[in-house]
């Protein structure tokens, strides 16, 4: 942390302190480097203006610890005295702690445990612009506490920018204060990667170039997407630079000591290169940085509702993130930022990153809401509403785990699960295991504590996917402390070490299935495994679980460019569990449909777990209703092409679609005759007439023309013939056919667009003689285009303006046709000639 407190925030400290004394909602806009995360809370403490406790929410663990440590140092106090911190699994607070810096949903837990927040007078939300989900939820709950229980509670929302943030909507009574950022200039250079070069190698060469430049550049801060790239780049640099250059990784899974090494100033005579994820983008200050090298990448986790897991992908950062990152070079003095992309590409980056709530799995958030009494996440005052699909899946999983009821009201089991403070899946496993263990007098509850610890652990060593291999380390160090914490919360007696040595695959598989019933997997040979939720996953061929028949998968990831997810944690599943402890997951379902290869209906009784079929036995008890249902399903799947859609039926379809847009006279609305509209109403116009139809060939003989016509009322049929006749009476007595045309989309489905809608009337040219204008239909709203044919019925011309045709193109047509068809009438004055359908010899008067 920077030791210089002559920060821009100092110029508005008096205004902020006055606002805290007189208002209960304050919005502070202060750019990165202004000192809002450090100097401001320190000044509030020293002013004595807040008598009670101050809670300050930081979105990242590294920053939480760093901010608390820095403020404690300024007060010449150890952590845990006046200033402390809480992160999940680690805290340093004491009975005299007034300022607590917290993160990772700790604030949400505090509010849930004590909705009145007794003793808390001020809550500070830092870096709201980063839009972390715990921050959004914490702010929403704090606002509810303030509005309903604690009018005296003060909320201070701090953001580097207010662009596209509707904070004033959530805090309508807030006073807004703006602080300037540091004015140290940052030179931005663009060094894009060539198409033939690996970006990581390019980044390494840029950093080596900066280190070897001979200039006193201070510390270099390099931004990379993740731990994997950081470790790869560190190896490259250590092989190319002096021992006087310290290469310091910085990411969330590092120990506190390693994080401190990256944050603190380099020893005298050494230069420091910090390789960081985006944890260093905002509130965390790294001593001595004057140069930033930015890869421009981030690793984004986006929840995939189809698979129920988050998909990792390497993506470009936003313009806002690029600005934040480059600003790190100018906190202490003038600096420079090197971006490994072009200036042109900078302009194409998205303006800002997506809020977490749009990208995250929401099961824990939904349980928080249920515990609070909300039945929908969007009942809370949120800056961005939760996606409906993500929220729906979260509630469905909570219902399946019996943590909420069908009305999303929290159950007694759900209340206990929330009190455990872990993911609802693991909480359900822990509580169920404890209940089973008490009945059976077994150690299943203790084993569940170890399994939960392994699943939640960060940075596990590489021991393969089999979760049993991690049991010995789950009893040691920080993991062991977490396992013992679960043991204490559940009030389970016993020795974790002995349980870890005696654990069986049978019990481990049982426990994991309690947490992940939708991730039971069955082998499908070289294609890997199929999860019960329908997702495909794979294991490394050399992994000990690769040849198992059944698995339960605790952790897998989908990555960009791969069709199947990669399994990272799993257990073998003993098939006997499916007949005993897990029998409630097994369902008997009748499955029927059409066998496309055999061209016939089939039915069977399937025993399955979700998408996994355990057995499939033929069912010979087939009714007419079964066949009709299967036929309807086939039509819905393959479309109207399965039906005998004759030209007459298709023309009727187009005529009705045009009438629906061009006619506003009828009392009864025209039905939707588009492909999708007819499929949506197929139960009404087709299903009643499928009695006795048992094959696709019989289906193809059903008179669709008649059924579609009968779907229209009698007045509609009459009105349609008036608006859009199928033929036009010529003066010669010929009924010239009219063909209707609509544009089609990429799927071949017709849609209405007046500019591309046509009605074509085909008739021999001699029968149109004397006709000055083309006919009109739909009460004059559409002019018919006429296809004028030769005596041999070959197309001569198409026109919707006969008068123009007679006065122009007809002259050339007449010259050519007189020689080819001398027996037919080609008058010089077609407008005043009589129409005929005969040759000159058979036409009187010629």
Helices (H), 48-105: 61-74
What whole-number distance in Å separates Cα of residue 787 and Cα of residue 800?
Answer: 9
| pLDDT tens figures, 143-176 | 999 998 899 999 999 988 777 677 888 888 899 9
Does residue 182 carry a pLDDT above 70? no
Matching CATH topology for 8-178 and 186-357? Answer: yes
pLDDT band at 267 (very low <50, low <70, confident <90, very high): confident
**Domain residue limits, the chain:** 8-178, 186-357, 378-515, 725-846
239: left (phi over 0), alpha (psi -120 to 50) or beta: alpha
Question: What does residue 352 show for φ and ψ, rounded to 5 degrees?
Answer: -145, 160
Q: Tell me, what's the pLDDT at 452?
A: 95
Is residue 112 over pLDDT 50? yes
User: Looking at the DSSP assignment, which residues form a beta bridge with residue 801?
Assistant: none
CA angle 783, 786, 791 (to 5 degrees): 165
Whole-number pLDDT of residue 190: 95
Cα 70 to chain centroid, rounded: 37
478, two tokens? 């920080």
Contact 81, 97 (CB under 8 A): yes
Over residues 34-59, the mean pLDDT reads: 90
- 650-670 mean pLDDT: 89
Task: Give buried/exposed letters for 419-448 (b at 16+ CB in 10 A, else e).
Answer: ebbbbbbbbbbbbbbbebbeeeeebbbbbb
Residue 339 CA to its chain's centroid (Å): 28
Tokens of 103: 């993160």
When pLDDT is averaged across residues 808-836 and rounded to a whole number, the result is: 91
CATH for 8-178, among 3.30.70.100, 3.30.365.10, 3.40.50.300, 3.90.1170.50? 3.40.50.300
Strand pairing partners for 555? 569
pLDDT of residue 561: 59
Residue 4 binned pLDDT confidence (cut-offs 50, 70, 90): very low
Q: What's the chain's Rg over C-alpha atoms?
A: 37
pLDDT above 50 for 5 = no
The answer on pLDDT for 282 being more than 70 is: no
For the chain, the average pLDDT equals: 89
Tell me the three state secondary structure of residue 222: strand
Which of 479, 503, 630, 649 has its CA nearest to residue 572?
Answer: 503
Specify whether the CB–CB gap between 366 and 395 falls below 8 A.
yes
User: Buried b / exposed e across 260-287, counting CB within 10 Å, b at 16+?
Assistant: ebbbeebeeeebbbbbbbbbbbbbbbbb
Q: Which fold has domain 186-357?
A: Rossmann fold (3.40.50)
Q: Does residue 98 register a pLDDT over 70? A: yes
| Spatial CB neighbours of 384, under 8 Å, sequence gap ≥ 6 | 131, 136, 355, 357, 358
User: What integer is the mean pLDDT of 765-794?
Assistant: 93
Percent of the chain with pLDDT over 90: 59
Query: Residue 143: what pLDDT?
Result: 93
Q: Give the residue carrying structure tokens 């099961």.
A: 363
pLDDT tens-digit map of 401-447:
999 999 999 999 999 999 998 999 999 999 999 999 999 989 999 99
- Distance between CA atoms of residues 65 and 101, nearest Å: 8
């Amino acid at each position: 942390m920077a030791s210089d407190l002559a920060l821009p925030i100092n110029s508005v400290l008096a205004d902020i302190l006055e606002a805290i004394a007189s208002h209960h909602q304050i919005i502070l806009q202060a750019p990165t480097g202004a000192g809002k995360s450090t100097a401001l809370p320190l000044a509030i403490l020293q002013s004595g203006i807040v008598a009670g406790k101050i809670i300050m929410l930081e979105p990242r663990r590294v920053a939480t610890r760093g901010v608390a440590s820095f403020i404690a140092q300024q007060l010449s106090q150890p952590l845990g005295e006046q200033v402390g911190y809480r992160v999940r699994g680690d805290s340093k607070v004491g009975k005299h702690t007034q300022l607590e810096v917290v993160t990772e949903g700790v604030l949400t837990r505090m509010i849930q445990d004590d909705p009145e927040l007794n003793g808390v007078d001020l809550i500070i939300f830092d870096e709201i612009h980063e839009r972390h989900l715990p921050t959004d939820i914490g702010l929403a709950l704090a606002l509810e506490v303030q509005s309903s229980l604690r009018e005296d509670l003060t909320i201070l929302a701090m953001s580097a920018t207010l662009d596209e943030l509707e904070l004033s909507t959530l805090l309508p009574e807030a006073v807004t204060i703006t602080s300037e950022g540091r004015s140290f200039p940052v030179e931005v250079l663009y060094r894009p990667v060539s198409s033939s070069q690996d970006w990581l190698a390019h980044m390494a060469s840029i950093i080596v170039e900066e280190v070897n430049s001979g200039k006193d550049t201070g510390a270099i801060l390099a931004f990379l997407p993740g731990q994997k790239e950081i470790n790869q780049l560190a190896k490259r640099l250590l092989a190319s630079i002096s021992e006087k250059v310290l290469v310091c990784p910085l990411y969330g899974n590092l120990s506190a000591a390693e994080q401190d090494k990256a944050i603190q100033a380099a020893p005298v005579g050494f230069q420091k290169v910090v390789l960081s994820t985006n944890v260093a983008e905002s509130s965390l200050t790294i001593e001595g940085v004057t140069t930033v090298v930015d890869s421009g990448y981030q690793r984004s986790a986006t929840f995939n509702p189809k698979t129920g897991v988050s998909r990792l992908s390497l993506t470009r950062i936003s313009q806002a993130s690029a600005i934040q990152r480059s600003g790190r070079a100018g906190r202490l003095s003038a600096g420079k930022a090197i971006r490994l992309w072009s200036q042109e590409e900078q302009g194409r980056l998205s303006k800002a990153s997506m809020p977490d709530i749009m990208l995250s799995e929401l099961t824990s958030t939904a349980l928080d809401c249920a515990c609070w009494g909300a039945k929908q996440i969007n009942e809370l005052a949120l800056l961005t509403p939760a996606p409906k699909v993500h929220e729906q899946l979260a509630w469905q999983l909570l219902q399946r785990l019996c943590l909420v009821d069908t009305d999303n009201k929290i159950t007694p089991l759900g209340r206990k699960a929330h009190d455990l403070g872990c993911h609802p899946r693991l909480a359900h496993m822990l509580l169920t295991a404890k209940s089973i263990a008490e009945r059976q007098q077994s150690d299943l509850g203790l084993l569940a504590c170890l399994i939960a610890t392994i699943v939640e652990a960060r940075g596990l060593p590489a021991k393969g996917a089999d979760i049993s291999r991690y049991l010995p380390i789950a009893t040691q160090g920080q993991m062991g402390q977490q396992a013992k914490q679960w043991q204490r919360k559940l009030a389970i007696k016993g020795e974790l070490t002995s349980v870890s040595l005696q654990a069986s695959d049978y019990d481990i598989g049982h426990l994991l299935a309690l947490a992940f019933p939708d991730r039971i997997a069955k082998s499908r040979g070289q294609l890997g495994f199929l999860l019960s939720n329908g997702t495909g996953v794979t294991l490394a061929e050399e992994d000990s679980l690769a040849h198992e028949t059944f698995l339960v998968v605790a952790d897998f990831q989908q990555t960009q460019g791969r069709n199947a997810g990669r399994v990272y944690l799993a257990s073998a599943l003993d098939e006997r569990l499916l007949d005993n402890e897990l029998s409630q997951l097994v369902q008997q379902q009748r499955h029927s449909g059409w066998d496309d290869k055999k061209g016939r209906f089939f039915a069977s009784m399937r025993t399955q777990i979700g998408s996994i079929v355990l057995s499939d036995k033929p069912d010979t008890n087939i009714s007419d209703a079964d066949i009709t249902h299967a036929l309807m399903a086939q039509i819905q799947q393959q479309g109207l092409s399965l039906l005998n859609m004759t030209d007459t039926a298709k023309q009727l379809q187009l005529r009705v679609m045009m009438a629906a847009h061009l006619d506003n006279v009828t009392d009864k609305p025209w039905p939707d005759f588009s492909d999708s509209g007819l499929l949506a109403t197929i139960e009404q116009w087709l299903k009643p007439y499928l009695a006795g139809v048992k094959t696709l060939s019989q289906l193809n003989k059903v008179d669709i023309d008649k059924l579609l016509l009968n779907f229209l009322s009698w007045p509609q049929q009459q009105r349609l013939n008036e608006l859009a006749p199928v033929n036009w009476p010529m003066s010669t007595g010929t009924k010239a056919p009219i063909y209707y045309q609509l544009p089609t989309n990429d799927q071949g489905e017709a849609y209405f667009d007046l500019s591309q809608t046509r009605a074509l009337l085909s008739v021999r040219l001699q029968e149109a003689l004397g006709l000055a204008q083309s006919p009109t239909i739909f009460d004059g709203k559409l002019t018919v285009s006429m296809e004028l044919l030769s005596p041999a019925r070959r197309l001569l011309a198409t026109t919707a303006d006969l008068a123009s045709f007679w006065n122009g193109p007809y002259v050339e047509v007449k010259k050519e046709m007189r020689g080819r068809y001398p027996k037919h009438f080609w008058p010089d004055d077609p407008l005043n000639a009589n129409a005929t359908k005969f040759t000159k010899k058979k036409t009187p008067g010629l």
